[in-house]
């Protein structure tokens, strides 16, 4: 895998963005562009090749198609397919394409602070990545499309939006790298592995009713100890972490579906719609209805 190393002292240049939707068999065109393309998968499987490597892109996965390099479909996509896309360019401040070895050499300095000091004005984005919080990227892409299709008088608004999305991607990757590195150390492997299992279980079951006590019981923890462990590793209490996961899912449903607010609340395990609205407002500073209204302008291309 390769990595796009971008200088962000100036914003990236947004060219175009939108959502691709197909409800029939379809194969991605073979082409070479003078811009990079960010893809965020939502539904179905996209079969695409770049640099001689074939990728099967599934929901939650993110990919960068590199400028000046040929890419295209290697297999027909079947059924419904949906992904968000954005064409962008850097502004010529030392853009680089790094190999796995070059990227690893940089990332190994994360723990000692050298990475943050030396590379604070750059972002390192992987060619392909499985996001553990794709809703954050989806929301940023929706905001980008909304701004790009609005009559805004701020010239660089969309540029800063795509820059923010790439920063989010880079941060998610670095966080995943740190978790993986910690889990592979002999001293921390057992405890970290167990804690990551709890995080993954919450993610998979986020639409179900759950409490701190029920999760602790499932994994054989004392509820107070598990809450303390969450505070130590995430900076959040366990119940706050659960709520944040559910609200993140709610944000995605608000901008990607026509479900009513009541339907979304029930789908996420909330039996009280008013409590869900109150919780959402506390987290986001606005009601679910206001949040949905903020992201209604998009560009959609279909096949």
Does position 183 have pLDDT exceeding 70, yes or no? no
pLDDT at 162 over 50: yes
Domain identity same for 172 and 263: no
pLDDT at 49: 96
Query: Are 136 and 155 in the same domain?
Result: yes
Angle (nearest 5°) at CA 95 between 93 and 100: 150
Q: What's the number of domains the chain is made of?
A: 2
Tokens standing for residue 247: 């609200």
Stated pTM of the model: 0.69
Q: With cut-offs at 50, 70 and 90, classify the pLDDT of residue 117.
A: very low
Q: Two tokens at 224?
A: 């107070």
Domain containing residue 241: CATH number: 1.10.10.60
What is the distance between the alpha carbons of residues 234 and 184, in angstroms, rounded to a whole number? Answer: 19
Using alpha carbons, select from 46, 56, 53, 50 the residue that is nearest to residue 78: 46
Token pair belonging to 153:
């008088």
How far is it, in rounded angstroms, from Cα 44 to Cα 10?
35
> Where are any strands of DSSP class E within 10-89?
13-22, 36-43, 46-50, 53-57, 61-65, 71-73, 81-89
What is the pLDDT, as a whole number, of residue 296? Answer: 63
In a domain, 152, yes or no: yes
In a shared domain, residues 261 and 169? no
Please name which of 146, 149, 126 lies closest in space to residue 38, comparing C-alpha atoms.
126
Q: Do residue 172 and residue 211 come from a single domain?
A: no
34, part of any domain: yes
What percent of the chain has a predicted confidence (pLDDT) above 70? 86
Q: Tell whether 8 and 140 lie within a shared domain.
A: yes
pLDDT of residue 192: 66
Helix residue spans in the chain (DSSP H): 100-107, 114-118, 134-148, 157-183, 189-204, 212-218, 223-234, 238-256, 261-267, 273-284, 288-293
128 & 53 share domain:
yes
What span, in angstroms and rounded, lies between the C-alpha atoms of 28 and 281?
A: 40
Q: Which of 157, 183, 209 corresponds to the end of one domain?
A: 183
pLDDT tens readout for residues 254-286:
877 888 999 999 888 888 899 999 999 988 888
Instruction: Examine residue 251 and state whether it is found in any structural domain, yes or no.
Output: yes
Across all residues in the chain, what is the average pLDDT? Answer: 84
| 209 and 153 assigned to the same domain | no
Q: Would 299 be classed as within a structural domain? A: no
Do 95 and 212 belong together in one domain?
A: no
Beta strand 36-43 pairing with 61-65: antiparallel
Domain stops at, among 183, 205, 235: 183
Residues 6+ apart with CB under 8 A from 226: 198, 212, 215, 216, 219, 238
Spatial separation of the C-alpha atoms in residues 112 and 116, rounded to whole Å: 9
Same domain flag for 115 and 256: no
Same domain, 143 and 199: no
| Residue 80 DSSP one-character state | -
If asked whether residues 99 and 139 sit together in one domain, one would say yes
Residue 236 and residue 170 in one domain: no
- Give whole-number Cα distances, 87 to 25, 65, 127, 273, in Å: 24, 9, 15, 39
∠ at Cα 171 (165, 175), nearest 5°?
A: 150
Q: Is the pLDDT of residue 11 over 60?
A: yes
Give the Cβ contact number of residue 243 at 10 Å. 16
Question: CATH number of the domain that 44 lies in?
Answer: 2.60.120.280
Residue after which a domain boundary falls, among 150, 183, 216: 183
Start-to-end CA span in the chain (Å) = 30
> Of the candidates 92, 88, 90, 94, which has an alpha carbon nearest to the alpha carbon of residue 33?
88
The owner of tokens 């740190």 is 178
Minimum mean pLDDT range among 43-52, 75-84, 161-170, 242-251? 242-251
- What residues contact 136, with CB distance under 8 A and at least 6 apart? 168, 172, 248
| 72 close to 48: Cβ distance less than 8 angstroms | yes
Domain interval for residue 248: 189-293
């Amino acid at each position: 895998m390769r990595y796009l190393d971008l200088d962000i002292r100036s914003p990236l240049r947004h060219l175009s963005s939108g959502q691709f939707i197909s409800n029939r068999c379809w194969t991605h065109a073979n082409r070479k562009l003078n811009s990079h393309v960010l893809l965020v998968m939502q539904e179905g499987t996209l079969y695409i090749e770049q640099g001689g490597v074939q990728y099967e892109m599934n929901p939650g996965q993110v990919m960068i198609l590199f400028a000046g390099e040929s890419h295209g479909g290697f297999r027909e996509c079947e059924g419904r397919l949906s992904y968000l896309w954005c064409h962008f360019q850097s502004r010529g401040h030392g853009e680089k394409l790094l190999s796995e070895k070059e990227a690893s050499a940089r990332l190994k300095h994360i723990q000692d602070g050298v990475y943050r000091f030396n590379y604070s004005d750059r972002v390192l984005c992987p060619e392909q990545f499985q996001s553990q919080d794709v809703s954050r990227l989806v929301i940023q892409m929706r905001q980008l499309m909304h701004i790009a299709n609005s009559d805004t008088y701020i010239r660089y608004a969309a540029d800063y939006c795509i820059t923010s999305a790439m920063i989010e991607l880079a941060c998610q990757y670095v966080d995943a790298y740190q978790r993986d590195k910690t889990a592979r150390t002999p001293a921390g492997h057992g405890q970290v592995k167990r804690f990551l299992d709890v995080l993954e279980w919450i993610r998979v079951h986020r639409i179900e009713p759950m409490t701190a006590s029920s999760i602790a019981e499932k994994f054989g923890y004392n509820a107070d100890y598990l809450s303390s462990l969450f505070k130590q590793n995430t900076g959040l209490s366990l119940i706050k972490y659960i709520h944040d996961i559910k609200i993140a899912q709610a944000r995605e449903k608000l901008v990607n579906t026509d479900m009513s607010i009541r339907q979304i609340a029930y789908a996420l395990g909330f039996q009280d719609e008013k409590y869900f609205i109150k919780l959402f407002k506390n987290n986001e500073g606005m009601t679910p209805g206001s949040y949905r209204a903020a992201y209604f302008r998009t560009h959609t291309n279909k096949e």
